[in-house]
Every structure is written in structure tokens, then in C-alpha cells.
Amino acid sequence: MDMILIPAVNMAPILPEILLSVLAMILLLINVFSPGGQKSSLAYISFLGIIAAGVLVAIGWGVHIESFSGSVVLDNFATFFKMTFLVAAGLAVLISDSYMEREGCNQGELYPLILFTVVGMMLMASGTDLMTIFLGLEVMSVSLYVLAGFNRANKKSNEAGLKYFLLGAFSTGFLLYGMALIYGATGTTRLYKIAAIVGQMTVPSSNIMLVAGMLLMMTGFAFKIAAAPFHMWTPDVYEGAPTPMTAFMSAGPKAAGFAALLRLFLVALPTLQVEWSQVLWVLAVLTMTVGNITALRQDNIKRILAYSSIAHAGYALVGFAAGNGTGTAGILFYMLSYAFMNIGAFAIIILVSKKGETNGNVSDFAGLGFKHPLLALAMTLFLFSLAGVPPAAGFIGKFYLFSGAIQKGYIWLAVIGVLNSAASVYYYLRIMVYMYFKESTEEFEWVKVTAPVALALVIAAAGTLIPGIVPSVILEYAQMAVKLM
């Protein structure tokens, strides 16, 4: 009988993934064997696990190891994104417990699922093989489908889960088809080898299989990052999903999508940059404009942030279209800042909303400013950051994204970007108008800010404000991360 030979592999690059996977499985077991009811302990354990994983990831900074015969790599790029995912997951875990308790769906599976999502995202960021990236994407997506529909008793949540699953599966089809075509055109799935083979082609852009593969992969990822015109699922899913999961989905998976896209296009297909940057140019304009214009018309605050998250993907695409160091570092910086500011904003939404996801309209924020000044102040910070007003991280992020485009010569793209940014100010201001300029119509049914939520808010606020004033603390790392790729 032939032995299946397992080559000696270096497990070091995926230590954080291993840690999180094992922890997730242990949590599942604890959940089964522990009496029902109190699930807070699971949240605390997963938060500690995330911190531990964060330490492991941080240790890997500056290291460059390829493993699994070149299908996984640990480099600064992966490390930076892994940190982003952990930030998103950590904040999401912190704000989940009290919300799930209130909504009566505090199932213990939530935390393992979040951790599995993170594992999937990490693999996407460190995958250097089409297959690894795909596997990571699937691990992430399948967990997310469940998370979106986690509130089983709520119809909207069910709808969100199903919708996300159907469209997600569909988009995965596109992606896989694209990968197959790339494999057909080049005969390999390793990104570096693809790059070498495409580099030897005389006119790669005339290779229809290659170009079609590229476009199909782009379509698949455009679904994941919610870029227009593949964004249709976003508002419904974001509105229906439990709010902490919406917060998580808007920050984590989007970043993961960008991580994979960036590596795929910058490492495997740099020779086609002229082609893909043109497509991304159009995609960026569409995404920003559609996101912002539709957000202007919304009243439900989750939908506002959902559409705005489409717009934010558009801003990041501006940096991607530029494809230069400034723009890509901008994406890394922006994705991390976005995790802080967006999850922070969602945390406030959770506090203001009531059981059954009522109280989710902009008008329900009326008077918050003087009833709960600290909360409103935090929300103001997050909203100004989202709007790109200094001194907040969102401004610095946009500054670098648009600078990338300008450096590349895409002046009009940058102009469209800033005009979009100005339009977005309107709906962010609208929330502030209600918070500060209008009197509350009814008494706030005051939600307790539990210690974890408070901690999440403090972290989010610090992560939004500090990089806005001294951007170097993050920006330098972002730039090192894109340099080595």
C-alpha cells in the first residue's frame, strides 16, 4: 500500500490560523457541553484568542517565509491584513455579546464562526496560489452566510443569509471560472509562475483566455467587496444581518477581498496592469457614485452605512486603479481605519436601536447629542472620519488613495472621488443633524453600555483619531507591507 507522503512543511506562516482554528473547535465543544444561557464566557475566550493570534501575527512582522510549496506566504503584506482582520473580528466580538443577548439569539456558535471567518480571510491574504486564495475565500464566505442569517427568529436576517448565500455562491462561480481560465492560459495556479509565464507572452492582452479569466476573477471579487454593479446584495444583507455581523462584514471581508485582489493583480498579472487599471477606473467611479447617491436617499441608518460602505469600496478602488505604492499603501491604511471607524459607528447604532432592530432610523438619533454627549461625540468622530474630514484616519486614508490616482495621472478619477466624498458628507451630516440639531421626540430607552462595548468604542475611537493626527504609526507599516509584495 502506498503511503501518502506529506512533505515536511513549515507551519510557522500559518500559526495564527492554526491557533484560531483550534480555538474555534474548542469553543464549539465548550458550547455543546456547557449549560445553555450564559455565552459571555465564549466571547471573552474568543477575544483573548484574537489577542493571542494578534501577538503571533505581530511577531511575524518583517519575516518572509514561503511554505506549502509556495502556495502560502508570510510577508508584511499578509501580516498587515491579518492585523486588520483581527481588529475587525476583535471589535465585532466585543460588541456582539450584549446585542445577541438583547435579540435573544445568543447562540454559542457565533464566536467559532467569527473565528473561522478570520481564518479564511487570513488565508486569502497570505495565499500565493489561486487554490489557496479560493479555499480561504470559501472558508470565509460559508461562515459569513451563516453569520448573516444568525438571528433565526428574524425574517430579515433569514433573508439576508439566503440572499448572501445565493449571490455569493453565484459570484464564487464567476471567480472559479476565471481561475480555471487563467490556469488554462498559463498552466499553473501559482501566482509567481503565472506572472513569469504571462511576462513571456509577446502580447498578453491579446490572449483572450487570459483576459477573460482576469475579468471573471475581477467580477467574482467585485461581488465580495461590494463594488458596483455587483453590489445589489449589500444593502439587504447589511440591513438584515445582526448589526455586529454587519459591522464585521463591512470591514473584514471587504479588506480580505482587497487583500486577495491586490496580491492577485499586482503579483500575478502586473503585465496586464494597463488593462485592469482601466477596468478598475470605471469600476471605482461606478462604485463610488452608486454608493453615495443611493445612500443620500436612505432613512434607515444601517442602510445608509451599507450604501456608504459600497462607496468606501469605491474609494479603495481608486487607489487600486492607480496601482502604485501610494495608492496601494492607501488601501491598506484605509481598510484598517475603516475597520475602526465603521465598526465604531455600528457599535453606536447597536446602543441606540432597540430589541427587534427597531429604532434604526436616522430620526431615532434625534437629541442623542445632549442626552448622551460621549456617545454622540464618538459617533461624530466616526462619521467625520467616514466623511473624510481631518483630523481623522478616514481623511488620511482618502488622501493617500486619491494621491495615488493623481500620481498615476488619473486626475479625473481623483476629482470624481473628491466630489463623491463631498456628496457623502451630506448623509453623514444628516445623522449629526439629528443628533445635535433636533430635540428628541421620545425618551431614550437607555441601553446599558456594557464593559466590552465601552472597550470596543474606546479602541475604535483611538484607532480613528490617533492615525488621523500621527498617521505614520500605521502608514509606515502599510508602506513597508506593499513594498515587499
Which residues make up the interface to another protein (CB under 8 A)? 325-326, 329, 369-370, 384, 389-391, 395, 399-400, 402-403, 406-407, 411, 414-415, 418-419, 421-422, 425-426, 429-430, 432-433, 436-438, 470-472, 475-476, 479
For the CB of residue 311, give the shortest distance to another protein in the complex, in Å. Answer: 14
Instruction: Choose between 245 and 332: whose C-beta lies nearer to another protein.
Output: 332
Q: In one letter, which amino acid is 42?
A: L
Q: What is the DSSP letter of 205?
A: G
- Backbone torsions φ then ψ of 449, nearest 5 degrees: -85, 100
Instruction: Choose between 131 and 437: whose C-beta lies nearer to another protein.
Output: 437
For the CB of residue 415, give the shortest distance to another protein in the complex, in Å. Answer: 6
Instruction: Choose between 173 and 373: whose C-beta lies nearer to another protein.
Output: 373
Cα-based distances in Å from 382 to 146, 206, 337, 474: 28, 46, 10, 18
For the CB of residue 473, give the shortest distance to another protein in the complex, in Å. Answer: 10
Instruction: Choose between 215 and 296: whose C-beta lies nearer to another protein.
Output: 296
Instruction: Choose between 234 and 277: whose C-beta lies nearer to another protein.
Output: 277
Instruction: Choose between 38 and 472: whose C-beta lies nearer to another protein.
Output: 472
Dihedral sign from CA coordinates of 103, 376, 245, 97: negative
For the CB of residue 425, give the shortest distance to another protein in the complex, in Å. Answer: 5
Q: CB within 8 A of 475, min separation 6: which ones?
A: 329, 333, 396, 400, 467
Element at 225 (helix H, strand E): none
Instruction: Choose between 166 and 458: whose C-beta lies nearer to another protein.
Output: 458
In terms of Cβ atoms closer than 10 Å to its own Cβ (0-12, 13-18, 19+), residue 390 is: middle
For the CB of residue 191, give the shortest distance to another protein in the complex, in Å. Answer: 25
Instruction: Choose between 132 and 479: whose C-beta lies nearer to another protein.
Output: 479
Q: CB within 8 A of 477, min separation 6: which ones?
A: 61, 76, 80
CA pair distance 57, 252, nearest whole angstrom: 16
Instruction: Choose between 131 and 422: whose C-beta lies nearer to another protein.
Output: 422
Asked if 302 contacts 238 with a C-beta cutoff of 8 angstroms, the reply is: yes
Q: CB within 8 A of 253, min separation 6: which ones?
A: 117, 121, 140, 141, 144, 224, 225
Instruction: Choose between 213 and 388: whose C-beta lies nearer to another protein.
Output: 388
What does the block give as the cell for 127? 495565499
Nearest 10 degrees: CA dihedral of 254, 257, 263, 269? Answer: -130
Q: In one letter, which amino acid is 61?
A: W
For the CB of residue 318, give the shortest distance to another protein in the complex, in Å. Answer: 12
For the CB of residue 472, give the shortest distance to another protein in the complex, in Å. Answer: 5
For the CB of residue 372, give the shortest distance to another protein in the complex, in Å. Answer: 13
Element at 74 (helix H, strand E): strand 72-74
Element at 182 (helix H, strand E): helix 155-186
Rg (CA), the chain: 21
CA pair distance 337, 467, nearest whole angstrom: 8
Residue closest to 391 by CA, chosen among 468, 471, 462: 468
Q: CB within 8 A of 3, min separation 6: which ones?
A: none
How many residues make up the chain in this entry? 485
Q: Which residue has the cell 486619491?
A: 402
For the CB of residue 423, give the shortest distance to another protein in the complex, in Å. Answer: 8
Instruction: Choose between 248 and 428: whose C-beta lies nearer to another protein.
Output: 428
For the CB of residue 335, give the shortest distance to another protein in the complex, in Å. Answer: 16
For the CB of residue 339, give the shortest distance to another protein in the complex, in Å. Answer: 19
